[in-house]
Structure 1
Amino acid sequence: MNFQIATLLGQDGLTNGAIYALLSLSILLVFTVTRILLIPLGEFVTFGALTMAAMQLGKTPQIEWLLLGLILIDCALDLYQEFQNQRLKHPINRNKLQKIAIKLGYGIGMVLLLNNIPLADIPMAVQVTLTLCLIVPLGPIMYRLFFQPLADAPALVLLIVSIALHVSMVGVGLLLFGPEGGRTQPFSDSGFRLGSVMLKSQTLWVILVSLFLIVALFFAFERTLYGKALRATAVNRMGARLLGISPVFAGKATFALAAFIGTSSGILIAPITTLYYDSGFIISLKGFVGAIIGGLVSYPIAAIGAVAVGMIEAFSMF
């Protein structure tokens, strides 16, 4: 092994490690706030990559129907709960009814929008935005449907539900995207020369965006009211509830953040590697290793451990 080969392997290891670091932070965030090991996090990665690839081929991503279907179930449960409250002579919750209307309008609007615009011809930034708008809402909806009713259940029950959800999402991914892999166009085709080694611009995109998201998460949890509320829930769920912090809000917010980070990771690595409907588990497993290195407690150590996993993977392949 010479310096050039070591630099190339280090470039690949750092790129993969940056993605693993994002996923390990997401796993750690969800676990500390909700006690849930988010096994299906990798499916957000593959769904994001395959949805973006479908748009660039001019195909309407079928995941729009999954989003609309889950929104309908979510709204039906909310309406049933409101009906039960009416039977108990409670006043009408107009705020909840307004939220139901907004969710229904969002789902229907996304379906109409995606079926009436030339997806292959729109700018890549718009494709990225549409992909995030399609997949990120799946996170809080999944928490509402599958985990919120079991919020006080033992951790083992939550783990079993998480594994079952992962298996179901893999099957849904096969149904929506098919067995063929997907790959997207790079954000830019330029490169940068470092001595005798050419650095890919997409690699720099992955590293820079990953660093930006990590720093943004740090400031969000340190400087914003909602971030501090999530930190309080992670430290003491009962104490946070007594202070008026809703555990339901905390769960939905962490799932939304995890879905956003997972989808963004899929969009970032899709130009580098071909992803399939079942590729998510292996990717999230490596992020999980990073979270375990951090003891499912320490965010910095988890991020460093995830980068170390990426480096070890790259050099061991050589």
Structure 2
Amino acid sequence: TQNQLTVRKILTPDSLFKFNGSGYNDQAKFQISEENVAYQKGIEKFLIASVLCSEAKLVPQENNPHQFELIGNPTEGSLLIAAKKYGYNLDTIKKNIEILQLNPFTSERKKMSVLIKNNHQKPYDTNAKYLLVKGAPNIVLEQCSMQYKFQKVSPLKTHEKDSFLKQNDHFASQGYRVLALAYKKIEQNQPLEEDMVFLGFAVNYDPPRDEVKEAVSNLTKAGLKITIITGDYGLTAAAIGKQIGIIKDEFIGLDGFEVEKMSDVELQEVLKTQKPVVFSR
């Protein structure tokens, strides 16, 4: 892929918001639809959390202040651009917040979190401490017992979690990369990463590079078998594999947990098959 992600959609517990434009350019301003105005506070909580739960930076180009160079992670960059399209000033948000602790993303945790004190950034409560979390949808949802829906915090029931996970799979099967965000207001001596409030999904698109499809075609014509190894979610990886011609019908998909359980002999047998193999996170 081009490794230049764009937020196409944000799904909150009460609404779906769509974004235009592509790449690290904020000119395609976000227009909130009339039916979504009532649910504006949910996306504002989401976008502010995504700005703060990030280590990326955007540097404007000298000849075009709407075009940015990204320093850091492309997924985080796409979320910063989404916040700018919405109309937020990133520097103002960061001035209104004091970051107390940052727990970086790791492949084991599959999430990152940041502990903040909110000085005066709406719609979060003034002078309150919050934990903001961003990560793989299944991991984040597992630690959420509440959701921000219809302008208030309400219980997140098991069937609703299952519905969100199905939505994640639906987006992933179309080649989107999906991230979940959540938060928790911290009182004294509370455990951090549990009983969180689910905010929603960021649905990102990272298009395949133009030359890849032709390169894949040439390699397969030469009799070579191509194996996909990626940190993406399995359904996302398979969808991209189909878009670029690596996967035509049947394939074998294995995630990290499944590979860990396999013996060397079992792994060799998988690699010997003629079917394409997708190793995902």
Instruction: Tell me whether the two structures share a fold, i.e. TM-score over 0.5.
Output: no
More contact order relative to length (CA 8 Å, sep ≥ 6): 1
The structure richer in strand per residue is 2
- TM-score, with normalisation over the residues of structure 2? 0.29
Calculate the TM-score normalised by the size of structure 1: 0.27
